[in-house]
A and B are shown apart, each in its own frame.
Chain A
Amino acid sequence: AQKVTQAQTEISVVEKEDVTLDCVYETRDTTYYLFWYKQPPSGELVFLIRRNSFDEQNEISGRYSWNFQKSTSSFNFTITASQVVDSAVYFCALRPASGGSYIPTFGRGTSLIVHP
């Protein structure tokens, strides 16, 4: 069985602060994909990134960066110099890469509030 844990229910920061959203996962699959999605107040989840289990390179995209550590089963997401527009609920998800069901499992989400 797969499981994704986002222990932080809500995080509140002031604009320009750096913030890290934690994601810890459990799976018996040897190959899998990890994802982050953003859900702004409008409700629609927006894809941010996909990471393959065999690629542990960290990734940076503008103010966003992702730290994948297979040894600790974590896929953390950092926003540098946060902005009010970053306020949203962020979901981490896990999906097998082969065999059986290709249905992703989502964490419970972390609500990020960025104050001006």
Chain B
Amino acid sequence: DGGITQSPKYLFRKEGQNVTLSCEQNLNHDAMYWYRQDPGQGLRLIYYSQIVNDFQKGDIAEGYSVSREKKESFPLTVTSAQKNPTALYLCACSSPGQPVGKLFFGSGTQLSVL
């Protein structure tokens, strides 16, 4: 079955530590996105990538970094500069004809601070 997989489901970060969240898709979609969800805050865009080897900052990119070396993979690193990282992180992908604009989401990684 095609889909989008995020791992791990739960992650704990220590003070000063960088952590990387994995996002893999086998839908052959070009565009991929990272969102952060805080209770009552909705979804806020961190980074997005429309094609391989290219990505753009979203609304809250500070303290995060990404790479897009392969079409199917879009890992997110939460750096030590992100002082309040506790949230649910959602990865999504999309393709022009799915219908247009439809996002496919992973089940998320819940990041907490130790």
Contacts and interface: CB of A to CB of B under 8 A. Distances in A.
A42 B107 contact: yes
Interface string B24-44: 000000010101000011110
B85 interface: no
Contacts of A104: 101, 103
B58 A103 contact: yes
Nearest to A10: B40
Interface string A72-116: 000000000000000000010001010000111011110000000
Chain B interface category by residue count: 20 to 34
A37 B90 CA distance: 14
B105 interface: yes
Q: Is the interface of B mostly helix, strand, loop or mixed?
A: strand
Contacts of A97: 100
B94 to A, nearest CB: 8
Chain A interface category by residue count: 20 to 34
B50 to A, nearest CB: 8
Contact of A45 (B48, B99, B103, B110): B103
A38 B43 CA distance: 13
B101 A95 contact: yes
Contact of B42 (A33, A46, A106): A106
Contact of A47 (B31, B35, B102): B102
A108 B42 contact: yes
A43 interface: yes
Contacts of B33: 103
A9 interface: yes
Nearest to A4: B42
Interface of B: 31, 33, 35, 40-43, 45, 48, 58, 88, 90, 92, 99-108, 110
9 contacts: A33-B101, A43-B107, A50-B102, A91-B43, A104-B103, A106-B35, A106-B43, A108-B42, A109-B42
Interface of A: 6, 9, 33, 35, 37, 42-47, 50, 91, 95, 97, 102-104, 106-109
